[in-house]
Amino acid sequence: MKSNIKLVASDLDGTLLNSQKQLTQTLYNAIGRLQRKGIIFVPATGRVLNAVPDYVKSIPLLKYIITSNGAAINDIPTGKEIASSYLPVETTINTIKKAAALPIMIEIFSGGKAYTEKKFISNLNYYGVVGQHINYVLSTRTPINNTLQFIKEHPNQIENVNLIFSDDKLRLAFRQELTAENFAAVTSSSPNNLEITSKLATKGNALKTLCSQLNILPEQVVAFGDSSNDEDMLKFAGLGIAMENGEEHIKKIATHTTFSCDENGVLAAMEKFIL
């Protein structure tokens, strides 16, 4: 197993990063060892590119990153987007109109940035954004006046629609509704959100695209994740590893479960299977 691995892909929040959104120094060093062995390391996140922490983007020898749940693959050294799968404009507008009728926060990911209306930013607590997430939103979101107008000005450039709920029953009901329509991929990376992308834009599809470009086989890939938006990535990889803090169905479909993100689970699995 150890000699056969050519690429390692990892989710960020709840996986590579601990619950304090930190990348431990020991794990940072281990990724450096990985890269120096010629093994490609690829962060794969639901975050938009400009919301990826600098300490992740500055990992030694890091070249590729999958963002917006697979809607974009970026080349870090050049800053270029090497592959993308955008939401069709009709699907985006339909989703936004439905969401606007609900008491939820709406975010748009486009061009590596996240946008949300000023009315949401000024009332984050009401929409269920609390604690450390407040500073995260304030530091990574660009305020706009009108979401639909933004979409009309940026047609076919929408990577992701992110919806934030304060009511879980409403979230689950809306997820069912969107899933039944079958116009887009609907996933989640936290207990209070829904992430809507093109049906082609999943972490698994992006990883498959990247591996195809690099002539890497699925059995030469290890993937780490904890949430439903990691599922097809874990299924694609020859070794799909779930975090102990992950969702139960993710642990069931994974080929292995490691320690939690607060116990350096990624590091433990790297040392066992790769390094």
Which regions of the chain are under pLDDT 70? Answer: 1-3
B/e letters for 81-102, b = 16+ CB within 10 Å, e = fewer, are bebbbbbeeebbbebbeebeee
* Locus of tokens 């689970």: 265
Q: How far apart are CA 46 and CA 11, in angstroms?
A: 8
CATH assignment of 89-197, among 3.40.190.10, 1.20.120.160, 3.30.1240.10, 3.40.1390.20 = 3.30.1240.10
Instruction: Note the pLDDT of residue 114.
Output: 96
Residues of the chain with CATH 3.40.50.1000: 7-84+201-273
Instruction: Note the pLDDT of residue 2.
Output: 67
Please state, as a whole number, how many other Cβ atoms lie within 10 Å of the Cβ of residue 46: 28
Residues of the chain with CATH 3.30.1240.10: 89-197
Strands of the 7-10 sheet, one edge to the other: 40-43, 7-10, 221-225, 239-243, 256-258
Instruction: Note the pLDDT of residue 190.
Output: 86
Instruction: Note the pLDDT of residue 133.
Output: 86
Measured in whole angstroms, the distance separating CA 42 from the mean position of its chain's CA atoms is: 12
For domain 7-84+201-273, give the CATH superfamily: HAD superfamily/HAD-like (3.40.50.1000)
Instruction: Note the pLDDT of residue 247.
Output: 95
Please state, as a whole number, how many other Cβ atoms lie within 10 Å of the Cβ of residue 146: 12
- What DSSP element (H or E) covers 106? strand 105-110
For residue 75, what are its two tokens?
């080349």
Phi, psi of 89 (to 5 degrees): -60, -35
